[in-house]
Structure 1
Amino acid sequence: MPSYAIIGGSRGIGLEFVRQLALSGENTVFVTVRNKQKSTYLLDTASKLPHKNVHILEADVVDNQAIKNAAADVAKISGGSLDVLIYNAARLEFDNILRGLLDYESEEKLDEEFIQSSKVNVLGPIHTVNAFLPLLREGTTKKIVLIGSEGGERDFVRRVHLSETAVYGITKAAENMVATKYAAELENEGFTVVAVSPGFVDVSSTYSEPAPEGNIPKFNTIAKKFYGAFPKTRPLAPQEAVERLLVYIANIGPADSGSFKPSLEFDTSTQ
């Protein structure tokens, strides 16, 4: 029975991972959230699934002990193994996600955003992989997937002229390197460790709160840059994005380890 752990699944892409994986009664799905009681989208989705194969665990990725506790809970339920770890957590604060490096009110504000984003986007996957690694070593597929972003890839940023989303992009670039480092570390154990982009996904239906109206023009400006650089780009629904990702995850193996897989819309090799 394949087992999956989705780190960060209260809404958006993570929520859709849970839904699609849990539709198969052969899968066991573990999902972490910061606050179970407030994860209304996830609770509602889980209640409507045909199988009772979703286990919701409360753990904030910036809390190392909470992540260790979640891994221990998974071990108790699964018998000590895990097949696939998907790290989906990310810091996406509306007040900061659209800013460039010159857009902060003070150097202190800039520093604080780097610190908080690094905790989630860089240290988060590191501590999570470390906590779940003993279980993955006992699994059958030994796959670790970090949900990355083209915003952390230099060629993409240059092509789009994307000065915005600066802290997010820089920390996601570091996250891509985290995947590569673990790939090198674990290659002799048969692991597959990758970073993969879901693409430009419209997750507005499960926002925890609406985007501030003042940010809409900034968002539209960035979207125009995307469309200008990649005319075939279109927003994906979470269902389509996750369907693509699951096909990719099912087909990857050790030969792919250490790579970053861009979304089809942003894959420059197909342009």
Structure 2
Amino acid sequence: MKTVLITGSSRGIGLGLVKEYVKNGYKVVATCRDPETASDLKSTLAETNQPSAIALDVASDDSIFKAAEEVSKIVDSIDILINNAGVAAKNHPNDPAIGVDREDALRVYSTNVIGPLKVTEAFLPLLRKGNEKKVVNISSFLGSLGCACPELGSFTTYSGSKAALNMVTRYQAFELNDCIIASVEPGWVDTDMGNAGGKVKPPLTMLDCAPKLVNTIEGLKREDSSFYFSLEGEKMQF
């Protein structure tokens, strides 16, 4: 049985991925900041005989490495690590370039950029024991320089963090050449973050997104390492 570890599993895309991987016969190691309050995740894992969720705050190195110790007691290896946990600016999608809140921006970058780097580092020993050795960083089309959408709002901090994530993904892949490491954007999904601001309803539901996202991740090959992909598996412009 293959094993997948997913960060930010309590809701949204993370929870959707948990449910989809369970359907696909995986052992799922779900993590989130506070498993006790993640009622949907807790019931999903219990009903499908999966391990209980592990506490992991990707903005805290202590939490990350403690979680890695806990996970090593549950599984001997990880085939796929999905760095899904992410946050947006407090006023997302009203985050103009003039007037950025420094502390809030640092919070977003700590979670969205440094988080995936440190999580990958902490779980690398378990990944290297897996068969697939895949790391997938969940990015966004808003992280593509060619996909800036000012008519939808101002995404300065969030977009910048996802563009940075795409770049650090490349450096991860160059350095960890025994693994397949890529970033994937899931499309504009109807989640709490996707609905922020309420200007336009997101076109995708989790029922649309999750199967396609899992399929694209499954299809990643050695030659895809270091690149950035759409929900449909097409190579994206950085």
TM-score w.r.t. structure 1 length? 0.80
**Are the equivalent residues in 2 in contact too, given 1:22–1:54 (CA < 8 A)?**
no
**Are the equivalent residues in 2 in contact too, given 1:62–1:124 (CA < 8 A)?**
yes
Residue 60 of structure 1 is matched in structure 2 by 57
Residue 71 of structure 1 is matched in structure 2 by 68
Q: Which runs of 4+ in 1 moved over 4 A?
A: 264-269
Q: Deviations over 1:148-189 (max 9, x none)?
A: 0111111111xx3466111000011111111111111112x2
Equivalent residue for 2:160, pick from 164, 170, 173: 170
The amino acid that maps onto 1:121 is N
- Higher helix proportion (structure 1 or 2): 1
Q: Tell me by how many angstroms 1:267 deviates.
A: 7.7
Alpha-carbon distance in structure 2 between the residues aligned to 1:201 and 1:73: 31
- Matched residue count: 235
**Are the equivalent residues in 2 in contact too, given 1:62–1:120 (CA < 8 A)?**
yes
Residue ranges of structure 2 left out of the alignment (5+ in a row): none
Residue 169 of structure 2 is matched in structure 1 by 179
Change in Cα spacing, 1:151 to 1:180, as seen in structure 2 (3 Å) is: same
Q: Tell me by how many angstroms 1:37 deviates.
A: 1.6
**Are the equivalent residues in 1 in contact too, given 2:89–2:105 (CA < 8 A)?**
no
Residue 126 of structure 1 is matched in structure 2 by 117
Alpha-carbon distance in structure 1 between the residues aligned to 2:81 and 2:189: 21
**Are the equivalent residues in 2 in contact too, given 1:96–1:113 (CA < 8 A)?**
no
Q: Tell me by how many angstroms 1:69 deviates.
A: 1.3
The secondary structure found in structure 1 opposite 2:73 is: helix
Q: Tell me by how many angstroms 1:196 deviates.
A: 0.3
Aligned residues with identical type, % of pairs: 30
Alpha-carbon distance in structure 1 between the residues aligned to 2:176 and 2:7: 20
The structure with the largest alpha-carbon Rg is: 1
Residue ranges of structure 1 left out of the alignment (5+ in a row): 224-233
Which residues in structure 2 correspond to 1:44-123 (within 5 Å)?
44-47=43-46, 49=47, 51-79=48-76, 81-102=77-98, 104=99, 110-123=101-114
**Are the equivalent residues in 2 in contact too, given 1:202–1:238 (CA < 8 A)?**
yes
Residue 225 of structure 2 is matched in structure 1 by 257
The amino acid that maps onto 2:210 is V
Residue 230 of structure 1 is matched in structure 2 by none
